[in-house]
């Protein structure tokens, strides 16, 4: 493993990603959408550097029964579902089990959306220039669900921005998004967390504070980051 490819934490990853985005053809007046929870501290740095508004876009992984860390698919806001048919077939997961996992994660998605927004309306995304940010791409299924949901909302331009990703997943996402920005695509990729020195779980409270801070006027929040 090349130590130069490892980020200190999500904040550093966001700063590196922001520098790449400054020189990328993302479009004018973008909205930065973070995939909670890990994508929020990365996206907060990106939004600050680009002077862009920050919001969240909800996606939930569908974990393989008995091996929840493995994705058999993902769902996103708007009722979009992406399934990994090969994994489901190889593991012998029944249609009923897939439906049960989908309903469970859909309930959690709705709970988080209500919790994070705290009464704020969702941003208007029709004809919007959007940058979707996460802390990394492993299987890419969560991001694929987000892309499909955003296409249904008829965004004008969709950039996916992640600090690190598996090369094969990056290739798939590059085909589905208008633009992929991923500074580091190491060949020996097993998990997103291996490319961070510090990869603590981000709490709901940190997500909400990050969104609140991003919404403050620059004079009130300059020089301060919730995720330091």
Over residues 16-27, mean pLDDT = 97
Task: Report the 10 Å Cβ neighbour count for 208.
Answer: 18
In a domain, 41, yes or no: yes
C-alpha 102 chain-centroid distance: 19
Euclidean distance between CA atoms 54 and 32, whole angstroms: 5
Q: Which of 80, 98, 118, 86 is nearest to 205 (CA)?
A: 118
Q: How many residues does the chain have?
A: 228
Over residues 159-165, mean pLDDT = 98
Instruction: Report residue 123's pLDDT band, with 50, 70 and 90 as the boundaries.
Output: confident
Over residues 60-77, mean pLDDT = 88
Report percent pLDDT > 70 for the chain: 93
Q: Strands 179-181, 80-83: parallel, antiparallel or unpaired by DSSP?
A: unpaired
In tens, the pLDDT along 184-221 reads: 999 989 899 999 999 999 999 999 888 888 777 554 34
Mean per-residue pLDDT of the chain = 90
In a domain, 11, yes or no: yes
- Asked if residues 192 and 201 have their Cβ atoms less than 8 Å apart, the reply is no
In a domain, 171, yes or no: yes
Give the residue numbers spanning the domain of 74: 3-219
In a domain, 183, yes or no: yes
Exposed (0-12), middle (13-18) or buried (19+): which is 159, by Cβ within 10 Å?
buried
Instruction: Report residue 95's pLDDT band, with 50, 70 and 90 as the boundaries.
Output: very high
| DSSP 3-state of 155 | coil
| pLDDT recorded at residue 20 | 97
- Asked if residues 116 and 56 have their Cβ atoms less than 8 Å apart, the reply is yes
- State pTM to two decimals: 0.85
Q: Report the domain count for the chain.
A: 1
Residue with tokens 């695509």: 185
Q: Is the pLDDT at 47 greater than 70, yes or no?
A: yes
In a domain, 224, yes or no: no
We report the CATH number of the domain holding residue 164 as: 3.40.50.2020
């Amino acid at each position: 493993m090349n130590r130069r490819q490892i980020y200190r934490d999500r904040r550093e990853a966001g700063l590196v990603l922001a520098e790449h985005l400054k020189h990328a053809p993302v479009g004018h007046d973008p909205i930065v959408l973070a995939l909670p929870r890990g994508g929020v501290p990365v996206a907060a740095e990106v939004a600050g550097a680009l002077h862009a508004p920050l919001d969240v876009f909800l996606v939930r992984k569908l974990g393989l029964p008995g091996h929840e860390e493995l994705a058999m698919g993902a769902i996103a806001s708007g009722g979009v579902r992406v399934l990994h048919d090969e994994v489901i077939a190889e593991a012998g997961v029944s249609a009923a089990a897939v439906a049960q996992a989908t309903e469970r994660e859909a309930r959690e998605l709705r709970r988080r959306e209500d919790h994070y927004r705290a009464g704020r309306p969702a941003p208007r995304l029709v004809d919007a220039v959007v940058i979707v940010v996460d802390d990394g791409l492993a299987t890419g299924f969560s991001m694929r669900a987000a892309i499909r949901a955003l296409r249904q909302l008829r965004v004008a331009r969709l950039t996916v921005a992640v600090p690190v990703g598996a090369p094969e997943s990056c290739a798939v996402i590059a085909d589905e998004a208008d633009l992929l920005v991923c500074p580091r695509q190491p060949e020996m990729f097993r998990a997103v967390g291996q490319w961070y020195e510090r990869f603590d779980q981000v709490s709901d409270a940190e997500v909400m504070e990050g969104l609140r801070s991003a919404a403050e006027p620059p004079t009130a929040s300059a020089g301060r980051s919730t995720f330091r």
